[in-house]
Amino acid sequence: MTTNRAFAVSFSLLILVSGFWTSLASAAPLQICTAQTLQGFPISGTVCGGTTYGYQCSAGVLYRCSSGPRFTQNNCKLSQVCSVGCTTQPSSSTSTSDVCFSGPAPLTLSTNSILGGTDLGLTVTLAAAHPSGAFTNMKIDRGDLVPGSYCGVPDLLAGQTSVSFALPTAVVSAPATVNLFVDLAYTDSSGVNRQIVPVASKLTINPGGTEPPAPEILNVTLSPSTIAPGGVSIMDVELAKFAPARGIPITVTSSNPSVASVIQNGQPFVLGGCVYGGGAEQIQAAHSVPSQTTVTISASSGAPGQAPVQTPLTVTAGCAPKSCLEVRGGTVHGGPCGSIADGCGGTLMCGCDFGETCGGGGVAGQCGLAPSVGVSALSLSPSSVTGGSSSTGTVSLNMAAPSGGMGVFLSSSGAAATVPSSVVVPQGQTSATFPVSTSSVTATNAVTITAQSNGSASAVLTVSPAASCTPTTCAAQGKNCGSIANGCGGTLSCGSCTAPQTCGGSGVANVCGGATCTPTTCAAQGKNCDTISDGCGGTLTCGACTAPQTCGGGGVANVCGGGSTSTAQLTVTATGRSGESVSSSPAGLRVNVGTSGSASFATGTVVTLSVSNDRDAIWSGGCSSGGNKTKSCSLTLNASTSVTANVQ
């Protein structure tokens, strides 16, 4: 029966709101629910659950509902549980006075307990007058176990009081419960639209059954049955009996795939409980067919004993030029472009989509995106430092930076090494450098430095603790007078001599001896750095070490050794007369008036600061002139220090 399913369309909302259906079909009806129009306006009055406006309420049960603003929820409370079901008596578009139904049961099952795989018999009954027929809207909470509610359930014809039909059940491994009810929608003899909804029926499906065999194919239709080159034909399949719950795939083959081929993944599938399947493009003709050809299309459901059903398909002669999309194999990115053969002796001019250009990716005749500038590499020099010293990072791009330069974001994975938040690669350049500062550490840290901008690159900086130094003693050096270096940058006082002995009087530095004293030498003492006592109350300067060696770094006082260099940072702030600058010796700092600058020097370095153009400055901070004007200021840098120069 083909009819206008106005009620069925409205009632389809129940399928969409699947979350409510489990509650509707449960043994105990809902105490509170929502009733509203399709537009969301609350329904007031007595509402029959399971209807188009009461689909969120338990089927066949009456609820007392109140009005309210649009989309009001839970406006209904359970009023009465009907023994058979309920029927509608609408008084307006948003008000109804539904009542319990006392006539014949609208839905009966052939059994309430069935073996899985067995067909279930159902009967729909409507004794009330329905001169235009009635729509049978079957609702099943387990459509996977009892399928076919939308394709296997017949409507009632005008004057027909009942109709019987069957639906398949699925094979189960354990007992399963299925709840079913029907909403009969019809127009009575007075022209009033009504619905009858019974209380949900409960079906138990038991294990132990077997899958029924596939039904035979009754009919196969190809539409159209004659197609031109490049054309398609749609297949429809009709089974002799509804498909079992698992559904039936139809296997389709072609006797001449070079002329007419089966579209991949296009084979029909008949859903459980349904007789018909297909309706999609199934057969694709070749683009070039030299002469008209009849191809046999075979379809099989797998039914025992049935040979494949054969249907002829005629493909006319000719050639259908391919489209650009077909030439690309269906792809929209990276396919061929430009002038391309259309397969029929002509050519196509195919462009590119989604921002791609022909040859843009560097391959002629292929769509692609032009490469864009981005980070390609990151290096650190040195890649291993002592905590407190610095390193220099270099970020590289894959091509020259565009107009205005390119900003690159920088980050560090650990507090032991810090970097600026970003660095700019100048226009036309492919790299830029940035400083990496480190702090003192007690254990070796591996810190990852990362640069990001349309790509990313990383490098690891190893930050190690500074080498330790143990000061020597006067006794260890065999000294008993004067001052000697402790080997770690400090000095030791070894005492004084008792007259008439003098310190170094016997010719040995820092040893009490005779009245005369011959000063020793650095070479005689085997020393080559820092200052030592000359043994006669004076001191000797034995020189400085070449980096990375330090004085006493090898564990021997006043002897260069070791490989780690300790550094300290000097920060200078220049104020006063503009246009001048403050510089350091050794070189490393040049600070313009009105700015600040920092640089790191080896600890123990004597740094002299001076003003350009031989001007005076008042120095304060780590290097002080005591409020006086001087042209320079010197300090020994043993730790991070700040100096302010007020240029006069």
- pLDDT per residue as tens digits for the range 427-459: 999 999 999 999 999 999 999 999 999 999 999
Q: What is the arithmetic mean of pLDDT over 155-178?
A: 96
361-400 confidence digits (pLDDT tens): 888 888 988 888 999 999 999 999 999 999 999 999 999 9
pLDDT band at 13 (very low <50, low <70, confident <90, very high): very low
Q: Are 296 and 253 in contact (CB under 8 A)?
A: no
Q: Structure tokens of 460?
A: 């690891």
In angstroms, the CA 191 to CA 131 distance is 9
Q: What is the arithmetic mean of pLDDT over 250-259?
A: 96
Q: How many residues does the chain have?
A: 648
pLDDT at 621 exceeding the cut of 70 = yes
Q: Structure tokens of 274?
A: 């349904």
Which pLDDT score is estimated for 455?
93
507-540: string of b/e by CB count within 10 Å (b at 16+)? bbbbbbbeeebbbbebeebebbbbbbbbbbbebb
pLDDT band at 617 (very low <50, low <70, confident <90, very high): very high
pLDDT at 360 exceeding the cut of 90 = no
Which pLDDT score is estimated for 6?
36
In angstroms, the CA 290 to CA 12 distance is 50
Which pLDDT score is estimated for 173?
96
pLDDT at 10 exceeding the cut of 70 = no
Provide, for the chain, the percentages of residues in helix, strand and coil under a 3-state DSSP scheme, each rounded to the nearest 5: 5, 45, 50
Between residues 363 and 274, the one the model is more confident about:
274
Q: Structure tokens of 232?
A: 């398609």
540-595 confidence digits (pLDDT tens): 899 888 777 788 776 678 877 665 557 889 999 999 999 999 999 999 899 999 99
Which pLDDT score is estimated for 21?
43
pLDDT at 358 exceeding the cut of 60 = yes
pLDDT at 526 exceeding the cut of 90 = no
CA proximity to 201, closest of 126, 141, 143, 125:
141
Which pLDDT score is estimated for 342?
86
Which pLDDT score is estimated for 546?
75
Q: What is the arithmetic mean of pLDDT over 503-520?
A: 81
Which pLDDT score is estimated for 76?
97
201-254 confidence digits (pLDDT tens): 999 999 999 999 999 999 999 999 999 999 999 999 999 999 999 999 999 999
pLDDT band at 12 (very low <50, low <70, confident <90, very high): very low
What are the structural domains, with CATH classification, of the chain?
1-212 (no CATH), 217-319 (2.60.40.10), 324-368 (no CATH), 375-464 (2.60.40.10), 567-647 (2.60.40)
User: What pTM value is reported for the model?
Assistant: 0.55
Region of 383 on the Ramachandran plot (φ > 0 left; ψ -120 to 50 alpha; else beta): alpha
Choice among 151-165, 198-212, 278-292, 320-334 with the minimum mean pLDDT: 320-334
In angstroms, the CA 24 to CA 140 distance is 11
In angstroms, the CA 378 to CA 405 distance is 18
CA proximity to 638, closest of 488, 487, 470:
488
In angstroms, the CA 148 to CA 138 distance is 9
pLDDT, averaged across the chain = 89
314-356 confidence digits (pLDDT tens): 999 999 998 888 887 777 788 889 998 888 888 989 988 888 8
Which pLDDT score is estimated for 633?
94
Which pLDDT score is estimated for 525?
81
Which pLDDT score is estimated for 507?
85
pLDDT band at 75 (very low <50, low <70, confident <90, very high): very high
In angstroms, the CA 136 to CA 536 distance is 123
| Residues contacting 170, CB < 8 A, separation 6+ | 116, 117, 144, 145, 146, 147, 205, 245, 246, 272
